[in-house]
Amino acid sequence: MKNFKRMAYPYMVWIAIMILVPMLLIFMYAFTVKGNSVTTFRFTLENFGMFFKDTVFIDVLKRSLFIALATTIICILIGYPAAYIISQSNGRQEFILILLVTMPTWINMLVRTYAWVGILQDNGIINNLLVMLGFERIKLLHTSFAVILGMVYNFVPFMILQIHSSLAKMDKSLLEAASDLGANKVQAFLRVTLPLSLPGVISGITLVFLPAVSSFFIPKLLGGGQYVLIGNVIENQFLTAGNWNFGSAISLIMTVIILISMYITKKVDKGEDSKGGFVR
């Protein structure tokens, strides 16, 4: 047992250096500003006040939450049918379909997003196809549509895999029992399959909403400088403005929002029994 504990020490050190120390630095910068000298700091809440007093930042936060929520809903609408179809396939077909879902994730997310820039631009594939069909070119790049499309494309595999995992673990004999009791396919789905798959849906929501609400390079590439989300504001404060204190305060606000979101999903998950159905 002691040997196993010793083997965990390097991981504990790694976690402390890569996670704990950066979080402590963000916390320190968020609640301080530089004093009269370079090496002195004073405690303050003005970094948070700057954020909540400026309606521009509040609007950006609202836009970020809206984009993340829209992305999550679309991922559910696309991911659930896809996961259901995959779970109903036989072994070889199921393997191939899962492979097709996961293959895009093998490529760097930045490269995949750059590919959409070429597809959506004014002289891109979609607009050229519209011209060939006799339609006029439309503005696709640097719009909210492009940002949501890029996020859905990048995050929908996580939703599909989580829901598929729940559906694959489901006891098929429950559907047979529902059929024996007179339930048709729609009733069996609503009363058996859907409740048992909700843990996967909740896990998928967590894996989609949390990165979507803080994403910065997808709106930067597909939205351009005209479409700013909260992740872009944080990046700008750290890399461009050099205001690490204000950037840390915004990061801490987003951390609280993410923790609240995780708490809500956890509470919803606790409303289900160990088999995935609702406690009645």
User: What per-residue confidence (pLDDT) applies to 278?
Assistant: 41
Provide the residue count of the chain. 280
Q: What is the pTM of this model?
A: 0.85
How far lies 176's CA from each of 86, 90, 100, 122, 173, in Å?
19, 18, 30, 53, 5
Predicted pLDDT of residue 65:
93
Using CB atoms within 10 A of its CB, is residue 11 exposed (0-12), middle (13-18) or buried (19+)? exposed
Model confidence pLDDT, tens digit, residues 149-187: 999 999 999 999 999 999 998 888 888 888 888 888 888
Does the pLDDT value for residue 277 go beyond 50? Answer: no
Residue pLDDT, tens place only, 125-149: 999 999 999 889 999 998 889 999 9
pLDDT of residue 174: 86
- Euclidean distance between CA atoms 144 and 68, whole angstroms: 12
CA–CA distance from 269 to each of 194, 206, 277 (Å)?
14, 11, 10
pLDDT at 276 over 70: no
Q: pLDDT: is 224 or 56 the higher one?
A: 56
Domains and CATH numbers, the chain: 56-270 (1.10.3720.10)
- In this prediction, what percent of the chain has a pLDDT beyond 90? 49
Examine the pLDDT at 192 and tell me if it is beyond 80: yes
pLDDT digits (tens, 9 = 90+) for 231-266: 999 989 998 888 999 999 999 999 999 889 888 888
Mean model confidence pLDDT for the chain: 87
| Residue scoring higher pLDDT (280 or 144) | 144
Q: pLDDT class for 280, splitting at 50, 70, 90?
A: very low
Task: Please give the residue that has the higher pLDDT: either 45 or 8.
Answer: 45
